[in-house]
């Protein structure tokens, strides 16, 4: 006897071989388009600075090849080790603060059904559509008054700007967490704090990793916010690279290309190690919510 087909089973998507071939070609072309800027920067980082503007898309040859000179000059001119430490500190701890606090906020406003928790959720959602340029001047003024213009204080500012998307994504996933598990933990005598960290937060891991990746990529590459708050006292990597521009618009293009390559390496490696969690976390938060 043939087994009856489950009515709830989703139909399989059948794609012809010709369609698959077209999709592969299109995706390959898009991949080349997206990777081309990175390749151009990497290629020009090994050219002499006087040859980059003349032939930016030409491969280095015996005349234009500069070896590691651009990297050595760039590190010495920018103070890259110090900038790297500031960028690493701000990125790591900002991501930890964002994940820690927004996960608890999302859990609370999802489980506690009151008019003001609903209003709080809409405020976080509204924060995602407010452009940074609209609030950057009053924000920088308030940050200066509150003494947040330092590597520790800027963590609070990044928490404010990163909370909107993070709370939105966490709320979508918390709705899928069975409330019976929390009730069982409360019956066993767990406090709300203990229940969150031992029961709820481990189940939020896919979304937490996704939020960590997205915020790390944003904070590591951010230029405007550290420039407004920290200035030249605590230069991050984007600010240090910008200061390779000299007077009258002169730019050491070779050193700048080399420093851009060094700035991209950590975040690219981090993304490649964690990329499998991005789609999983976004899909979980969107479908289950």
Q: What is the mean pLDDT of each run of 10 residues along the chain (289 residues)?
A: 49 68 90 88 84 80 80 84 91 94 91 87 86 84 88 91 89 82 80 84 86 90 89 85 70 83 87 72 49
162: CB partners within 8 A, 6+ apart: 94, 98, 102, 215, 218, 219
pLDDT of 114: 87
CA distance 229 to 243: 16
pLDDT of 158: 93
DSSP class of residue 246 equals -
Burial 180-219 (b: 16+ CB within 10 A, else e): eebeebeeeebeeeebbeebbbebbebbbbbbbbbbbbbb
pLDDT of 69: 83
pLDDT of 14: 62
Provide the whole-model pTM.
0.81
DSSP class of residue 12 equals P
Looking at the chain, the domain(s) classified CATH 1.10.3720.10 span: 72-288
pLDDT of 288: 46
CATH code assigned to 72-288? 1.10.3720.10
CA distance 77 to 229: 22
pLDDT of 1: 45
Return the SS3 of 65. strand
pLDDT of 13: 52
pLDDT of 220: 92
Contact in structure between 102 and 120 (CB atoms under 8 Å): no
């Amino acid at each position: 006897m043939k087994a009856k087909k489950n009515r709830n089973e989703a139909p399989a998507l059948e794609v012809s071989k010709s369609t698959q071939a077209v999709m592969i070609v299109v995706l390959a072309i898009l991949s080349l388009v997206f990777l081309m800027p990175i390749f151009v920067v990497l290629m020009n980082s090994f050219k002499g600075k006087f040859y980059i503007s003349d032939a930016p898309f030409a491969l280095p040859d015996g005349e234009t090849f500069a070896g590691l000179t651009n990297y050595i000059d760039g590190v010495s001119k920018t103070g890259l080790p110090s900038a790297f430490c500031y960028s690493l500190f701000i990125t790591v701890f900002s991501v930890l603060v964002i994940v820690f606090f927004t996960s608890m906020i999302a859990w609370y406003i999802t489980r506690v059904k009151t008019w003001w928790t609903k209003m709080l959720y809409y405020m976080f959602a509204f924060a995602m559509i407010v452009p940074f340029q609209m609030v950057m001047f009053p924000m920088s003024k308030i940050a200066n008054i509150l003494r947040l213009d330092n590597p520790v204080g800027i963590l609070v500012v990044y928490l404010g700007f990163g909370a909107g998307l993070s709370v939105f994504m966490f709320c979508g996933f918390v709705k899928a967490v069975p409330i019976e598990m929390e009730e069982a933990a409360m019956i066993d005598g767990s406090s709300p704090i203990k229940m969150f960290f031992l029961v709820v937060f481990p189940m939020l891991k896919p979304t937490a990793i996704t939020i960590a990746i997205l915020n790390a990529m944003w904070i590591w590459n951010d230029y405007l916010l550290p420039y407004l708050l920290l200035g030249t006292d605590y230069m991050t990597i984007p600010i240090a690279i910008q200061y390779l521009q000299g007077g009258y618009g002169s730019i050491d293009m070779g050193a700048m290309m080399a420093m851009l390559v060094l700035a991209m390496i950590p975040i690219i490696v981090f993304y490649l190690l964690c990329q499998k969690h991005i789609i999983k976390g976004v899909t979980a938060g969107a479908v289950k919510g």
